[in-house]
Amino acid sequence: MANPLECILHKVDPQFAASQGFRYRLSVLLAPDGFSFLITHANTQKILSMSVYKFGIVSSVVDESFGWPVNDGTYFELLKKNEITEQHFQRIDIAIASHKITVSPFDFIHNGHEADLVNVSQHQNEGEEILSEEITPQGAVASILIPEYIKKNCEFIFPGANLHCAASVMVKGILRKHQGSNMRQVFINLHQKYFELVVVQGPNLIYLNSFKYAEPADVLYFVVFVLEQLGLTPTEESITLMGELSESTPILSQLKLYCASLFYIEKPIELEYSELLAGIPLHKYFTLLNIPICE
């Protein structure tokens, strides 16, 4: 089966020199529908390179009709062919995305009850393992289910890399960006066939979960349902958007019917942006951009 790999974004600053990798940090975002690379200067936080790749069906055997493939061969063969994997960096951080998310208190995970909680809320397939990461120090922890082969391949391709839960990175980025506010805020991070819904109150995470969707109306249904369950009035809430959302996305039209206002999340201010990235809708890459600043 053909697995066409498409590069949808590739920007390289003229100052980037592959031979100077000891001065650079590499951030990698792995998702079932593709992978992304971000190279930043370790000291100045300047973005020197940004690449985003998307591809078609990776395997004919896929968990729950989407998500990570059961057969890992093609995905990581495509990843290994990228020239970035041959370079050396001062530090490498890899964030892994999954629609199977469970949120729990730090003490619950610290006391070894991680698997008990995850198995209550998610179906763990054979060959899947848990990856957990704190969202706030000794506070909320996000745990995701990923195929075991992901860690093994990451260790082989990127020895010594630090692995992260993409959902934790995303929420850390939200809290970091809005750390001076005590307002309640709602966020939607849209992926292919699923989305994450986040509600924060100032520095506190109120809600984080993911939902599968087949039609645009499904997203609206889950957003309205969750907000009402939290005692909120959807028509009075402003929602901040990120991920695969644009003015042409039918989902956006659905949300406009019920939500007070919609905004795209702004880029992190801690990074220095090259002029090469001007005009690029960076709200689509919020998680990737936060990997080097949300350790």
Residue found by looking up tokens 């209550």 in the block: 120
Model confidence at 192, in pLDDT bands (50, 70, 90)? confident
Model confidence at 225, in pLDDT bands (50, 70, 90)? very high
Partners of 31 in the β-ladder: 34
Q: In angstroms, what CA-CA distances link 212 with 111, 121, 215, 219?
A: 31, 15, 10, 8
> What is the C-alpha to C-alpha distance for residues 288 and 31, in angstroms, rounded to an integer?
11
pLDDT tens digits for 39-96?
Answer: 999 999 999 999 999 976 544 344 444 678 776 678 899 999 999 999 999 999 999 9
What average pLDDT is seen over the chain?
89
Domains (ranges, CATH) in the chain? 5-173+268-290 (3.30.420.250), 178-264 (3.30.420.260)
pLDDT tens digits for 111-159?
Answer: 666 776 677 677 778 889 999 999 988 889 999 999 999 999 999 999 9
> What is the C-alpha to C-alpha distance for residues 267 and 286, in angstroms, rounded to an integer?
7
Q: How are beta strands 238-243 and 34-41 bridged, if at all?
A: unpaired
> What is the C-alpha to C-alpha distance for residues 235 and 245, in angstroms, rounded to an integer?
20
> What is the C-alpha to C-alpha distance for residues 177 and 200, in angstroms, rounded to an integer?
12
| Contact partners, residue 278, CB within 8 Å, separation at least 6 | none
> What is the C-alpha to C-alpha distance for residues 121 and 127, in angstroms, rounded to an integer?
18
Q: According to the model, what pLDDT value does residue 163 have?
A: 97
